[in-house]
Amino acid sequence: MRRSRTSRPIHPACRDDPPSTPTSFATQKCESRGLGVDSRYIYWSNEYGSTIGRANLNGTGVNQRFITAANRPDALVIDSRYVYWANWGNGTIGRASLDGTGVNQSFLAVRRGRPVGVAVIPGP
């Protein structure tokens, strides 16, 4: 089993080669910290897997590696165009389009401390 940079084992469901047996996304233990929902998908952060996961609202189409290379992602939030997440590991806020493209792991830098929350104010 691969080890994360914190020497904690990564659960098999969060690895690049998840188990082949079907598993409910609600029972996979990936140190999920944040949760967001839009009209089609549910999104979650996998802190020690360093990814953002996504699944259809009915639990199908689970993708634990929807967005990769996050740095210990914590809270996340969804708006009409983007998913945003707090990168606790390096003190940044990441952002990507809802289809997973345009990933920017350092969309915003936090001046002090490490972010554990993120919020979006709806535009006009």
Dihedral over Cα of 67, 2, 34, 43: its sign: positive
8-52: pLDDT as tens digits: 444 455 555 554 444 455 555 566 778 999 999 999 999 888 999
108 forms bridges with which residues in the sheet?
A: 93
Contact 29, 10 (CB under 8 A): no
Number of domains present in the structure of the chain = 1
Q: Which pLDDT score, from 0 to 100, does residue 9 have?
A: 46
Residue 26, classed as helix, strand or coil, is helix
Instruction: Determine how β-strand 51-56 pairs with β-strand 41-46.
Output: antiparallel
Return the CATH number at 58. 2.120.10.30
Within a domain: residue 5?
no
Within a domain: residue 124?
no
Within a domain: residue 19?
yes
Share of the chain above pLDDT 70, in %: 73
Domain that holds residue 20: 12-109
Q: pTM above 0.85?
A: no
Within a domain: residue 116?
no
Within a domain: residue 2?
no
Within a domain: residue 117?
no
Please give the biggest Cα pair distance in the chain: 48
Contact 23, 73 (CB under 8 A): no
